[in-house]
Amino acid sequence: MVKDTLQTVGKTVLLKGWVNSIRSHGKISFIDLRDRSGLIQVFVAGPINLKPETVIAVVGKVSLRPEKLINPKLLTGKIELQSESIEVLSPCRELPLPIDTDGCNIDETVRLKYRYLDLRRPRLQRNLKVRSDYIQACREYLFQQDFLEIETPILTKSTPEGSRDFIVPSRNYPGNFFALPQSPQQYKQLLMTAGFERYFQIARCFRDEDPRADRAFEHTQLDLEMSFVEREEVMALMEKTITYALEKIGAKIKIKPFPVFTYKEAMEKFKADKFDLRTEKDKKNNLLALAWVIEFPFFEKKPDGNWTFTHNPFSRPIPEHESMLLKKQKIGQIITTQYDLICNGLEVGGGSLRSYQPEMLRAVFEILGHPPAKIKSQFGHMLEAFTYGTPPHGGCAHGFERLLMSYLGEDYIREVQAFPQTGSGRTSVMDAPSPVDPEQLQELQLKISR
Ligand code: AMO
């Protein structure tokens, strides 16, 4: 790799990578050769005819540059490779978009059509590296805390998280559909019934809601659940995980431990449940201001007069309000055990203690106005599981993208995802959604009615 050449001065090496740039001075030329570890100057005794972004293999001797030609801005600025042979491994055509800028001003559809080129720009290489490092650090911390990483299904049944589901038709059961998970909420609770006590997952979640700067069809959560815990223990665990991982990638946190506000305090103080605690100076210093918000109302009235949940129907109310929930009294006053985590004004996580008694969960769905048959068909499996010894449990999920956007100073979620959807909900590079073969529709027994 390029960065290893620092240790091989005087030796002949073989390097492979991309032509980052070329400078021709008639009889001699220079190539900046790039691989994932950095750039090195290649000296060529003669003219060259290569296009930028061509993939080459160079054999040459690593030499110290004369003092006055040292480039202090480059990690390998003290050395260069004196090329002996250059082989073209894969040529590159004229690029359809510049990749030596930050790319912010280029039309999104062009960037995402050629995302594999767009991703070559240093900003996005850095963003995805930081994302990978952050996720590794989260894993590291949770393994140290005795958590098990367990995957849950992608083809599943709808779990209400307040969005529309993406649904997948079934060939074996025509007319029936899977739903992609809006989150692993139900499965992680079932893992507590199953006795794992401490679970986490880097979970992909799918929500069919209109994309926004910080909202996408797909996002990734650090999703965890714990048994025999109180609210503060789950909050502390998530806080420690995030603090460990953020500090590992070099981020600076403004206030530790994270301040906690009740929903009422937040609304009085900031007129919102998402707020930015940074000063202008904090913003300049790229500090992350994280805070918890707790004690949200469990339910709110919809315009049609029916109740809806504010956060998560699987949550338990605070202990003092459990009997109100069970008796369905003073519904608007019931406070949930929900905790939301915010960072620099964005909601980056949330969780709660859960109902683990069937009657508590049933009462929630009854308040939401679900008839008994619907409760049974939609959530009967949870109500049944809770009759076989389910421990009290709670958990939390933290969306990677929004936190990393804050840290990396990015305004759009697509800047921290490898192959994001466009703002109008189409895939990067590949053209989807797109029609399928009539035979596929026939096999699924589906007819397009348009
Ligand atoms: P929630 O719905 O609050 O909770 O999601 C958790 C976190 O995931 C992120 N997030 C998103 N990021 C980008 N695009 C989206 N469309 C999107 N939706 C959510 C946010 C959010 O805070 N099952 C519960 C968690 C739990 O109670 O354990 C849940 O999914 O940062």
**Domain assignment of residue 242, given as a range:** 112-296+338-356+391-416
Distance 349 CA to ligand 1 centre (A): 6
Count CB atoms within 10 A of the CB of residue 346: 17
Q: Which of 138, 156, 161 to mutate to test the pocket of ligand 1 (most atoms within 8 A of CB)?
A: 161
Which of ligand 1's atoms lies nearest the C-alpha of 215?
14
As a whole number of angstroms, the distance between CA 426 and CA 428 comes to 7
Atom 21 of ligand 1 has which residue's CA nearest to it? 349
Question: Hey, what's the torsion of the CAs at 351, 355, 356, 358, to 10 degrees?
Answer: -150
81 CA → ligand 1 middle, Å: 49
pLDDT of residue 142: 98
Residue found by looking up tokens 């338990």 in the block: 316
Regarding whether 267 and 161 lie in a shared domain, the answer is yes
| Residues sharing a CB contact under 8 Å with residue 318, sequence separation 6 or more, in sequence order | 295, 335, 336, 337
437 neighbors 381 (Cβ within 8 angstroms): no
How many A from CA of 156 to the centre of ligand 1? 18
Mutate which of 134, 192, 201, 205 for ligand 1? The one with the most ligand atoms within 8 Å of its CB, which is 205
Measure 200 CA to ligand 1 centroid, in angstroms: 15
Nearest CA to ligand 1 atom 27: 351
* β-bridge mates for residue 354, sequence order: 315
Ligand 1 center to residue 263 CA distance, Å?
A: 18
What atom in ligand 1 is closest to the CA of residue 402?
31
Of 189, 219, 227, which is best to mutate to test ligand 1, by the most ligand atoms within 8 angstroms of its C-beta?
A: 219
* 221 CA to centre of ligand 1 in angstroms: 7
Closest ligand 1 atom, residue 351 Cα: 27
Phi, psi angles (nearest 5°) of residue 354: -110, 155
Dist CA 449 CA 438 (whole Å) = 13
Give the total number of structural domains in the chain: 2
Within 13 A of 63's CA, how many CA atoms are on the CB side?
A: 14
Query: Partners of 109 in the beta sheet?
Result: none
CB 318 within 8 A of CB 295: yes
Are the beta carbons of 346 and 406 closer than 8 angstroms? yes
Q: Residue 171 sits in a domain of what CATH number?
A: 3.30.930.10
Residues 6+ away with beta carbon under 8 Å from 336 = 295, 296, 297, 298, 310, 311, 312, 315, 316, 317, 318, 352
- If you measure from the C-alpha of residue 332 to the centroid of ligand 1, how many angstroms do you get, rounded to a whole number? 24
**Ligand 1 shell residues, CB under 6 Å:** 161, 183, 185, 207, 209, 215-216, 219, 221, 312, 347-352, 395-397, 399, 401-402, 413
Instruction: Count CB neighbours of 80 within 10 A.
Output: 24
Same domain, 237 and 152: yes
Question: pLDDT at position 450, please?
Answer: 82
Atom 14 (ligand 1) nearest CA: 215
Residue 383 lies in a domain: no
Q: Are both 159 and 238 inside the same structural domain?
A: yes
Return the ligand 1 atom nearest residue 314 CA. 27
- Do 79 and 211 lie in one domain? The reply is no
Q: Indicate the Cα dihedral angle 43, 46, 47, 48, nearest 10°.
A: -50
Nearest CA among 72, 130, 122 for reference residue 102:
122
Number of CB atoms found within 10 A of residue 81's CB: 25
- CA dihedral over 205, 379, 163, 404, signed as positive or negative: negative
Q: How many A from CA of 279 to the centre of ligand 1? A: 26
Claim to verify: residue 130 and residue 205 sit in the same structural domain: yes
Cα-to-centroid distance, 217 and ligand 1 (Å): 12
Protein residue whose Cα sits closest to atom 8 of ligand 1: 399
Distance CA 368, CA 316 (A): 15
Closest ligand 1 atom to the C-alpha of 209?
A: 16
The answer to the question of residue 101 being in a domain is no
The enclosing domain of 68 has a CATH number of: 2.40.50.140
Instruction: Name which of 43, 77, 71 is nearest 58 in CA terms.
Output: 43
> Tens-digit pLDDT profile for the chain (450 aa)?
999 999 999 999 999 999 999 999 989 999 999 999 999 999 999 999 999 999 999 999 999 999 999 999 999 999 999 999 999 999 999 999 999 999 999 999 999 999 999 999 999 999 999 999 999 999 999 999 999 999 999 999 976 677 999 999 999 999 999 999 999 999 999 999 999 999 999 999 999 999 999 999 999 999 999 999 999 999 999 999 999 999 999 999 999 999 999 999 999 999 999 999 999 999 999 999 999 999 999 999 999 999 999 999 999 999 999 999 999 999 999 999 999 999 999 999 999 999 999 999 999 999 999 999 999 999 999 999 999 999 999 999 999 999 999 999 999 999 999 999 999 999 999 999 999 999 999 999 999 998
Max intra-chain CA distance, the chain: 89
CB atoms within 10 A of CB 2: 21
Single out the residue in 36, 59, 90 at which a domain terminates. Answer: 90
Structure tokens at 6: 């620092």
Contact 292, 257 (CB under 8 A): no
In a domain, residue 280? The reply is: yes
What's the confidence (pLDDT) of residue 28?
94
Q: Which positions ≥6 away from 438 have C-beta within 8 Å?
A: none
User: Are residue 124 and residue 68 in the same domain, yes or no?
Assistant: no
- Say whether both 255 and 399 belong to one domain: yes
Residue 217 contacts residue 206 (beta carbons within 8 Å): yes
The pLDDT of residue 162 is: 79
DSSP 8-state code for residue 96: S
H-helix or E-strand containing 284?
helix 280-284
Pair 279, 346 in one domain: yes
Predicted pLDDT of residue 444: 96
Q: Where are the beta strands (DSSP E) in 92-176?
A: 148-149, 167-169
The residue type at 295: E
